[in-house]
A and B are shown apart, each in its own frame.
Chain A
Amino acid sequence: MINVMRTQTKKGATHMRKIYTVILAVMFALAAGAAIAQEYPAKPINLIVPFAPGGASDVVARIISPLMSKELGQQIVVDNRAGASGNIGVAYAARASNDGYNVLLGNIGTMAINPALFKKFPVKPVRDFVAVTQVVDAPTALVLHPSIPAKTVKEFIEYAKARPGKLNFGTAGPGSNGRLEMELFMDYTGIDLVHVPYKGGAGAAAIGLLSGEVQCGFQTLASVITHVNAGKLKVVGIAAQKRIAALPDVPIMPELGYESMKSGSWQGVYVPAGTPAPIVNRLFAVMTRVMADPGVVKRLGDSGIEAVTSKSPEEFAAFMKNENEKWAKVVQKVGVVMD
Chain B
Amino acid sequence: MEMFQHLFFGFSVALSIQNLLYCFIGCLLGTLIGVLPGIGPLATIAMLMPITFNLPAVSALIMLAGIFYGAQYGGSTTAILVNLPGETSAVVTCMDGYQMARQGRAGVALAIAAVGSFFAGTFCTMLIALFGPPIAEMALKFNSPEYFSLMLMGLVAAAVLAQGDMAKSLAMVTLGLLLGSVGTDVDSGWARFSFDIIELTDGIGFVVVAIGVFAVGEIVSNLGEAEERQVFTSKVGTLFPTVEDVKRSIGPIIRGTLLGAFFGVLPGTGPAIASFSSYMVEKKVAKDPSRFGHGAIEGVAGPESANNADAQCKFIPMLTLGIPASGTMALMLGALMIHGIAPGPTVMTKNPDLFWGLIASMWVGNLMLVLLNLPLIGLWVSLLKVPYRLLFPAIMVFSSIGIYSVNNSPFDIYLTAAFGLLGFLWLKLECPPAPLMLGFVLGPMMEENLRRALLISRGDPTIFLRRPISLGFVVATVLIVVLMAAPVMRKKRGSITG
Contacts and interface: CB of A to CB of B under 8 A. Distances in A.
Interface of A: 52-54, 58-59, 62-63, 65-66, 78-84, 87-88, 91, 117, 168, 173-175, 194, 196-201, 203-204, 206-208, 210-211, 213-214, 222, 225-227, 229-230, 295, 298-299, 302-304, 336-339
B322 A304 contact: no
B340 A302 contact: yes
B409 A303 contact: no
Contacts of A168: 455-456
Contact of B267 (A194, A207, A299, A302): A207
B201 A62 contact: no
A310 B95 CA distance: 56
16 contacts: A52-B327, A53-B47, A54-B46, A54-B334, A81-B407, A83-B201, A88-B199, A91-B198, A173-B189, A200-B327, A204-B268, A207-B323, A210-B321, A211-B143, A227-B322, A227-B344
A216 B230 CA distance: 64
B369 to A, nearest CB: 23
B187 A230 contact: no
B55 interface: no
Contacts of B198: 83-84, 87-88, 91
B175 to A, nearest CB: 22
B308 interface: no
A303 B338 contact: yes
B331 A194 contact: no
Contact of A196 (B45, B142, B344, B455): B455
A338 B186 contact: no
User: Which 6 A-B residue pairs are closest in the complex by CB-CB distance?
Assistant: A53-B46, A226-B322, A174-B189, A54-B331, A338-B189, A226-B344
A304 B336 CA distance: 12
A302 B202 CA distance: 31
B338 A299 contact: yes
B245 interface: no
B383 interface: no
Contact of A203 (B42, B45, B140, B324): B324
B327 to A, nearest CB: 5
Contacts of B187: 174, 197
Contacts of B456: 168, 196, 213-214
A293 to B, nearest CB: 12
A207 B330 contact: no
Contacts of B143: 208, 211, 213
A182 to B, nearest CB: 15
Interface in B321-359: 321-324, 327-328, 330-331, 334, 337-340, 342-346
A140 B191 CA distance: 27
Nearest to A165: B458
B142 to A, nearest CB: 8
A203 B330 contact: yes
Contacts of A338: 188-191
Given A196-B455, A337-B190, 8 more contacts: A91-B198, A196-B452, A199-B186, A199-B444, A200-B327, A207-B323, A230-B344, A336-B189
